[in-house]
Amino acid sequence: MSIRIVNENRMGREPGYKIIEKDPAYVIYQGTLLVKVKNGTTGDIEVRPYVNSDDGTLTPAGIALDQNQQPPIAPTGNANPTVGEGYNYTNYNRGGLVAPGDDMIVWLFANSLVKSDDTWLVGTTVYWDGDNERYTDTSAGSTEAVGVLEDKVTVAGAVTQIKIKIKSFS
C-alpha cells in the first residue's frame, strides 16, 4: 500500500475510471496524481498519471486511491499461489478501474513516490513532479501544487513517509 487515508471529505472520493490505454501501459500506484481525459473514440472519461506538460492545460482529478500494479497473491493448498484466492482486494483496482480522490488527509509511503532527500518542512506546499512521478517540496515551473505537508517520518536521514492535506481540485 502506498497511502493511508487519515481524514476525507465525503465528496472527495470519486468512482473508478478506466485507465487510458497506451503501449507501454501507464503505471499507477496509490498516491499517483491523476488527470481525467475524454476518450476521443468512445467519449468515456478515463484517467492517466498527471505529467508536467499538463500544467496549465489540464486540472488534476486527485490522487489515485487504487493501483494497477501487483495484484494480491495468496497461497493455495498446493505450491502454486493463486491470484485473489481468499485475499482482500481493498486498494487494488476493481476491474481495471482507478478512483481519484482529493480534499483529504493522507500518509504517503515512500515506494519512490516521495523524494526522500528533500527538506520537507511542515506547513509548506507539497508538489507533484509528473516527469519524475513523485512528490517533492520544490516548486518548479511545471510542478503541480497538491497540498500542504502536515507531518513526516525520517529514517536514517531520509524521509520515508509524508502526511499531506490534499487540496480540492474541483
pLDDT value, residue 84: 46
Cell of 101: 480522490
C-alpha to C-alpha distance for 105 and 34, rounded to whole angstroms: 17
pTM for the whole thing? 0.82
Domain count, the chain: 1
Instruction: List, in sequence order, every residue forming a beta bridge with 149; answer none if it has no partner.
Output: 164
pLDDT value, residue 48: 93
List the domain range (segments joined by +) for residue 148.
3-166
pLDDT tens digit sequence for 1-51: 478 889 988 788 888 898 888 877 788 888 999 999 999 999 999 999 999
Residue 67 — very low, low, confident or very high, per pLDDT cuts 50/70/90? confident
Residue 79 — very low, low, confident or very high, per pLDDT cuts 50/70/90? low
Mean pLDDT computed over every residue of the chain: 83
pLDDT tens digit sequence for 128-161: 998 888 999 999 888 899 999 999 999 888 888 9
pLDDT tens digit sequence for 87-97: 444 555 556 68
Listing DSSP states for 119-152 in one string gives ---TTSEEEEETTTTEEES---TT-EEEEEEEEE
C-alpha to C-alpha distance for 139 and 105, rounded to whole angstroms: 21
pLDDT exceeding 90 applies to what percent of the chain?
39
Q: Measured on CA atoms in the order 128, 131, 136, 137, is the torsion positive or negative?
A: negative
